[in-house]
Every structure is written in C-alpha cells, then in structure tokens.
Amino acid sequence: MKFIGDVHCKIGKYIPIIRTCEESIQVGDFGFKEEWDWLEKNSSIIGLSHKINMGNHDYIPCVNTNPHSLGNWSYERGIFTIRGANSIDIHKRIEGRDWFVNEELNYGEGYEVFDNWELSKPDIVVTHDCPALVAEVLFGFPRTGINKEYYKSTTRELLQNMFEVHQPKLWVFGHHHINKNETINGTNFICLGELETLDI
C-alpha cells in the first residue's frame, strides 16, 4: 500500500506515482470537480484500487458517488480513514466551486465515525488533518489561549477525542504540506508533504 500526500490538482504528477504501485490511498486535497471527473472517467484505466480520502480542498459533492472516494470514513483491511479538515483560506474561495460548507464532518457523522472507531480499534489510520494535540506539538497550533479560535477545527477535535480512547500504531495525514515524523503517546504520526509518498 502506498500513501500519497496532497495533490492539489497536479494530476500530471499523481499519475506517475500510482503507476508504481497496485493500490494507494491519497490523504486528501486531491482536487476539485475537474480532477474528480477525471478520476471517474479514467477508472477503468487507473483501476479502482487507487482511493482518495477527501480533505478540505476536494469536490465534496461526489464524496459518496465517485468510486475512488473513501466516503466520510472507511475501515478496510485494517486501515481506518476519516475525511475532512477546516479551511483557513475561505476568503479566497468560492462556495460550491473550491469551498464547501460540509468540508468537515457534521456532529452526526462524527458520532458515527467515533462509534466505529471504538469498535474497530485500528492499527493504521489515514486522515487529512490530525488530532488537536498533534497539531499543537508538531505545528504550534494552540489549543488554549488568545489564538485558539483561529486554529479551531471540528475535525481536529473529533480526531483528538478518538486518539484519547484508542492510540493506533501508525497515523498518516497531510494538510500541512510539510514532512513530519514523530511518536506521540505511542503512536507514530507521519505528515506527508505535497505529493510525498509512504509505502507500508
């Protein structure tokens, strides 16, 4: 299995990566309507074993219809995935084109994910963002204090609550566009940079 960092519409760089493996999970921020339409149109060529775990810069309307989407969450072959993240650049984006109100899971969806997390207790997790504690340790995003509202994220808080009840062996994510690899409370957290890969 190959994990792939944020693609950000760079299909020309994504194709050579998936040609090197039989199956992959891209951690989110794959692209918008044009890129997701390309995925669906070329499914028979690239194969359905190359999946996307949607981030905040993805075409959310096809989350449950595109065959490459892992949906809101998935648990297959020991790998648990959860989509979503919070955009801090909303002011630069157009709703319905490159920003969507439901870029993060709502509370009902979050409860569903949490219940399945407790049941499955996975060893490997793929998300777009990371738990709040991890964002604080690795990137300096404060959980408390005067600047906490700027960095507030429903996704981070959900992932934090999940991390507190179960610590997997490996947690792979993207979103922050920088390579990080650190063990926190027994879990190896790996943040993939843009188009960076990890094989397991």
User: Which structural domain, as residue segments, surrounds residue 181?
Assistant: 2-199
Residue with tokens 């044009």: 34
Domain CATH code at residue 84: 3.60.21
- Our count of domains for the chain comes to 1
Question: What pLDDT is recorded for position 23?
Answer: 97
C-alpha to C-alpha distance for 123 and 103, rounded to whole angstroms: 26
Q: What percent of the chain has pLDDT over 90?
A: 90
Statement: residue 98 has pLDDT above 70: yes
Question: What pLDDT is recorded for position 1?
Answer: 97
> Who has greater pLDDT, 145 or 104?
104
How is the beta sheet containing 79-82 ordered, strand by strand?
A: 73-76, 79-82, 124-127, 170-173, 187-191, 180-184
pLDDT per position as a tens digit, 32-72: 999 999 999 999 999 999 999 999 999 999 999 999 999 99
Sign of the C-alpha dihedral computed for residues 110, 102, 72 and 164 taken in this order: negative
Sign of the C-alpha dihedral computed for residues 114, 108, 145 and 137 taken in this order: positive
Question: What pLDDT is recorded for position 41?
Answer: 96
Closest CA to 58 of 150, 175, 155: 175
Size (the chain), residues = 200
Task: Output the average pLDDT for the chain.
Answer: 94
